[in-house]
Chain A
Amino acid sequence: MRQRGRVRVERVSTTRRATIPATSYPVERLTLDNGLRVVLTPDRSAPVIGVAVVYDVGIRSEPEGRTGFAHLFEHLMFQGSENLEKLAHFRHVQGAGGTFNGSTHLDYTDYYETLPANALERALFLEADRMRGPRLTEENLRNQVDVVKEEIRVNVLNRPYGGFPWLTLPPVLFDTFPNAHDGYGSFTDLESATVADAADFFQHYYASGNAVLAVSGDIDVAEAVELVERHFGDVPARPAPVRPSFAEPDLAAERRVSYTDRLAPLPAVASAWRVPDPIGDFAGYLPYAVLAEVLTDGDAARLVERLVQRDRSVTSVGGYLGFMGDPFDVRDPTALLLQAHLPPDGDVDKVLQTVDEELDRLATDGLTDGELARTQARMATHLLRDTDAVLGRALRMAVLEQQRGEPGLLNDLPRLVGEVTEESVRAAAATLRPQRRATIEVLAGAEQ
């Protein structure tokens, strides 16, 4: 079924809760003979489209001795393909008035473009071409190893708090290589990567059966289906590899590690607690998403009011689900994180103790009148705002299809968040005990 024109908006009202609106972007799903799954979500409100291809492989799948390889490989997917020279991809996207990028996550890698709608067929051609096979050459590999090293210097080595906490906390919380290792990679591992490694990685993980294509925006569904068939239909069929379990047991005792950051002028701390399986136990997981916001979203949030305003024991505090801030794009195992920056004489022990106190108070006394409803209303705004961009919709729906077979969940999230009960948020808070906590502490190493 398809709908035209303006996206219909439903307003769902429940007693004692804010009125949470929802979108109803239409969703079409199909699977090609080669196993490629396709999601189409038309919206003709602006003459632009988003195109995303998501492969079910990420940082957790890279082999030992090859840290950073999933990300390095992402770079190689831009270096030319079956019918395209190096640089051609960039030029064809931008020369059509579009922008592009790719990013590597724990459980997936995405490639995407957003363009004026008249470039739909071109974008499909470009994505299909590299799905058939990137040009993996020694020269391109060496060039991109250099580029990735500069990326790591910019984002980690040459700045204060580089990699904090997304690279520095996982090895405290987790024990197994897939979950604990540095996803940006060591320079040694990056330098020892070979073209043969890349060819194997592509052969194994970049299979049509392991990918999802999503197209959003100003498209006619029938025409888009035809174009998708035309360009992707003859991509050779390869099945998805079996995805291993990355499960690990929860912590039995508190863990705490500290390190000195020679560029950091002030101390900082981050803690993580394991949360329920985001896919297998979505109902158990959602209250943690709400809890993170109750604790830290805005000046009226509990930990902000207490730690920043009242105690002045931190200068900023944030809370979120997932090491990459990706609550609905990640599989088990994952975590709720709290992170804070401290003033010069800051006391990390005291901060952690206050967090425990506030969690206790929340679990014991519950929420104040209206606290849950206003948090849910604000979350709805954030969720809706993210879906306004066509590309945001294509990306989120592609991942929801890949991990859950449920791209339409994007429409339902504001409502589902709005249905989370006070009781379940209290129960979630009660599980964040010190003995289940992994903490990383940054000691200031820079002169002030």
Chain B
Amino acid sequence: MTTASRILPPLGPTRKLNLPKQAERTLGNGLTVIAVRRPAVPLVELRLGMPFGRVHPARAAMLAQTLLSGTTTLTGVQIAAELQKVGGGLSAGVDPDRLMLSGAGLVTGLDRMLELLAGVLTSAAYPADEVATERDRLVDRIQLAQCQPGHLARTALLKRIYGRHPYAVQTPTPEQVRAVRPSVLRKLHDERVHPTGAVLVLVGDVQPERALDAAEQALGGWNGAGRVVELPATPPLEPGPLLLVDRPGSVQSSLRMALPAVPRTDPDHAALQLANLIFGGYFSSRWVENIREDKGYTYGPYSLVEHSVAGSVLLAAAEVATDVTGAALLETQYELGRLACVAPEAEELEQARQYALGTLQLGISTQAGLAALTSAYAGSGLRLDFLAEHAARLAKATVTDVAAAAARYLAPARAVTVVLGDAQRVAGQLGTLAEVVTEPAGP
């Protein structure tokens, strides 16, 4: 019996990118509120980002860890219980740019969530007992992170690429955390937890104008005092010897490469994003097809452009078997070099373009996705309508544009390379490809 081969069905007509209904207001105290309507489920997503650059990592991490530990009127447990009553929850996190409060709850509880949020922002108490508990927990978490190869590799890479810039050290040491007292946190809160430059994003089953009113009602009285701190631009990458971080007994090597990149608004950004996809930015990329699907060196290699306020960087990461560490680096350099030197095929670009455009649609198809994107854009001073502009640039980029971006940003000669692994077993392999400098793993 023979089977006639079946033909892959074509795609239907592309549906237009429709942005949801939204509204924005800047309150008298400087807080910007953006509300976006997606009524699919009766929930609301909340993201409050506050500029938090140049805060010592230990103080920043401790503030995020204890911000929800109590106010002048409620204990931390009471805050959590009150949020829970309306199906809500809040969590705090911090990076070198921002302090972020995030949560979601039943939309019927929006007013109450905002009221509790306001209480935390205006009267967080940093009670001594809770601060002591959270200090120990944070220390334990840092110790755990220091046993994770991914964390150790990232720590070494950040130090290597950022040098003296504040981004160089993003995780405090246990000793630094142990030194943070409640009084320091109260002072830091007074100085830096304020609405100037902050953006609150509300997404969900809301009428945008009505959500803005609710936010204004709850947060209009949040004190607008405080200072704004600027971060210096990140330094350019300085390629040099491969840094080998020794982790004796490691059964894999963590390969990390940093390459130059540009911010979202740069005219090169769309072409760079497409070049990155073709190299290693999605599963159907050259790098993944090579070192995973052809050679089986690794499980989940990826590359992405990471945007921060002070600069952008392209990062490539793969956990590879110890025995093939050198071979994996060789293939990585080859794929970067091939794209930097030889223009991609039109078909490859088309595939990457469709992926970039399609995943934009997917990204805004949930409340949580819309909230994340709106908040990330707001962090770069952009609004959701930038999505349409970006989509248009992705649609327009030519093979020539992408080849030029690859030559400029993906050239292996411009890469900073860090490998974390068992130096005894991988130094020789790596030494055949690059000058190698070895140091011990550590914070």
Interface residues of A (CB under 8 A from B): 6-7, 9, 11, 18-19, 21, 23, 43, 45-48, 82-83, 86-87, 90-92, 94-100, 114-122, 125, 129, 142-151, 153-154, 157-160, 218, 262-266, 297-300, 305, 308-309, 312, 315-316, 341, 343-344, 370, 373-375, 377-378, 380-381, 384-385, 387-390, 446, 448
B319 touches A153 (CB 8 A): yes
B83: shortest Cβ distance to chain A, in Å? 8
B5–A96 CB distance below 8 A: no
With A158-B149, A265-B146 already in contact, the answer to whether A96 and B140 are too (CB < 8 A) is no
Complex interface: chain A residues within 8 A of B250 (CB):
158
- Taking the nearest CB of chain A, how far is it from the CB of B45, in angstroms? 9
Which 5 A-B pairs rank lowest in CB-CB distance, beginning with the nearest?
A: A97-B358, A146-B296, A118-B12, A299-B80, A300-B81
Interchain CB contact (< 8 A) of A309 among B77, B84, B141, B297: B77
Q: Known contacts being A48-B362, A118-B15, A150-B321, is A160 close to B136, with CB within 8 Å? A: no
Residues of B within 8 A of A142 (CB): 296
Min CB gap A121→B, angstroms: 4
A309: chain B residues within 8 A (beta carbon) = 76-77, 130, 133
CB contacts (< 8 Å) of A9 on chain B: these are 41-42, 205
* Alpha-carbon distance A125/B9, docked complex (angstroms): 7
Taking A266-B140, A315-B136 as given, write out 9 further A-B residue pairs in contact, using a Cβ cutoff of 8 Å, ordered by the A residue number. Answer: A7-B41, A18-B87, A45-B38, A143-B296, A298-B84, A308-B137, A309-B133, A377-B84, A388-B368
Chain B's closest residue to A100 (CB) is: B283
Q: Are B299 and A446 in contact (CB under 8 A)?
A: no
Contacts of B413 in A (CB 8 A): none
Cross-chain contact A116 with B77 (CB below 8 angstroms): no
**Which residues of B lie under 8 Å from residue A96 when comparing CB positions?**
11, 354, 358
With A309-B77, A381-B88 as known contacts, state yes or no: A153 contacts B147, CB within 8 Å.
no
Segment at the interface with A among B21-29, B104-112, B186-194, B377-385: B104-112
A154 partner, pick from B39, B79, B319, beta carbons under 8 A: B319
Given contacts A385-B368, A389-B366, contact A18 B355 (CB under 8 A): no
A157 to B18, CA, bound (A): 45
For B18, the closest partner residue in chain A by CB is: A47
A297: chain B residues within 8 A (beta carbon) = 84
> Closest residue to B129 on the A side, CB-wise?
A309
Do the beta carbons of B68 and A299 come within 8 Å of each other?
Answer: yes
Pick the residue among B77, B106, B133, B299 that contacts A21 (CB under 8 A): B106
Given A151-B299, A381-B105, A388-B367: A121 in contact with B9 (beta carbons within 8 A): yes
In angstroms, how far is the closest chain A Cβ from the Cβ of B270? 16
B351 within 8 A of A: yes
Q: Judge whether B133 and A154 touch: CB under 8 Å.
A: no
For residue B309, CB closer than 8 A to chain A, the reply is no
Most interface-central of B42, B89, B108, B368 (chain A CB within 10 A): B42
- Chain A residue numbers with a CB within 8 Å of B41 are 7, 9, 23, 384-385, 387-388
Residues of A within 8 A of B106 (CB): 19, 21, 377, 380-381
Q: How far is it, in angstroms, between the C-alpha of A23 and the C-alpha of B148 when the chains are bound?
A: 40
**Contact in complex: A158, B319 (CB < 8 Å):** yes
Interface residues of B in 250-291 (CB under 8 A from A): 250-252, 282-284, 289
Q: How far is the CB of B148 from chain A (nearest CB, A)?
A: 6
The smallest beta-carbon distance between B84 and chain A, in angstroms, is 4
Q: How far is the CA of A316 from the CA of B137 in the complex (A)?
A: 8
In the assembly, what is the distance between CA of A23 and CA of B84, in Å?
Answer: 20
State the Cβ distance, B107 to closest chain A Cβ, in Å. 8
